[in-house]
Amino acid sequence: QVRPLLLFQSSNGDELTTLAEYVERMKEGQEHIYYLTGASREAVENSPHLEAFRAQEYEVLYLTDTIDEIMVGHLTEFDGKQLQSAGKGTVEFGTEDERKDAEDARKAQEENHASLLELLQETLIDHVKEVRLSNRLTSSAACLVGDTFDMSPGLERLLRQSGQEAPDQKRILELNPDHKILTQMKTMYETNSADPQIVDYAHLLYGQAVIAEGSQLPDPAGFARRVADLMAQ
């Protein structure tokens, strides 16, 4: 068995950790071993995907070697705990009661933002499969996440760099319901749902999320124009 010998960088500190040591430190109610892949430790540490993990003091493994993108496709569990990317699927924190309270609060927020989210999804239909509210963001306005079994952006880039085909995957745009930008967009929508600025903000949020994960913008010139227009205002 090689798994017990593997060493990982971690949000727990500068020392490398084994999976067994990670499991020993898991919080009450924690069901998964969390990790995030990225080009460097700095890139992973600064990822918006980890904001709630830091706030809730959940440890995350930092997978920064190129081979890690392939390795995690085979290393799916350890000691009965499933490995889960912090950048995929949904995340749940706390005990069962705390998770239920958080889910009830999220549903109430989504009902409150339903019409705006529908408009944003229609606006970005060429780029994302869904627009939803996030429970992993605390300070950033937006991030892109994949479904549980989607290919990561890093693996997509790795395959294309090696000359292999990688499917074009639409991902999920998550928005921070407590961010001032979303609050302002909701006010704009309630004032005039046809306000063209809402469309510009939608594309800016998507572009910001693409940049934050280290991917390339689909329309850099359009993004730059929208930023310039916003600055001019």
Q: What pLDDT score was predicted for residue 159?
A: 65
- Distance set, CA 55 to CA 32, 50, 126, 155, 223 (Å): 17, 9, 33, 28, 31
End-to-end CA distance of the chain: 60
Residues 6+ apart with CB under 8 A from 31: 81, 82, 92
Confidence class for position 155, pLDDT limits 50, 70, 90: low
Confidence class for position 166, pLDDT limits 50, 70, 90: low
Tens of pLDDT, residue by residue over 187-218, are 999 999 999 999 999 999 999 999 988 888 98
Tens of pLDDT, residue by residue over 82-124, are 999 999 988 888 878 888 888 888 889 989 999 999 999 999 9
Q: The whole model's pTM is what?
A: 0.89
The closest of 203, 93, 90 to 145, measured between CA atoms, is: 90
Q: What pLDDT score was predicted for residue 134?
A: 92
Average pLDDT over residues 75-86: 93
Tens of pLDDT, residue by residue over 4-60, are 889 999 999 999 999 999 999 999 889 999 999 988 999 999 999 999 999 999 999
**CA–CA–CA angle 195, 198, 203 (5° rounding):** 145
DSSP 8-state symbol, 39? S
Q: What pLDDT score was predicted for residue 102?
A: 84
Average pLDDT over residues 135-141: 93
Residue 136 · residue 86 · CB < 8 Å: yes
Average pLDDT over residues 169-182: 93
Q: Inform me whether the pLDDT recorded for 149 exceeds 90.
A: no
C-alpha to C-alpha distance for 123 and 93, rounded to whole angstroms: 31
Residues 6+ apart with CB under 8 A from 66: 158
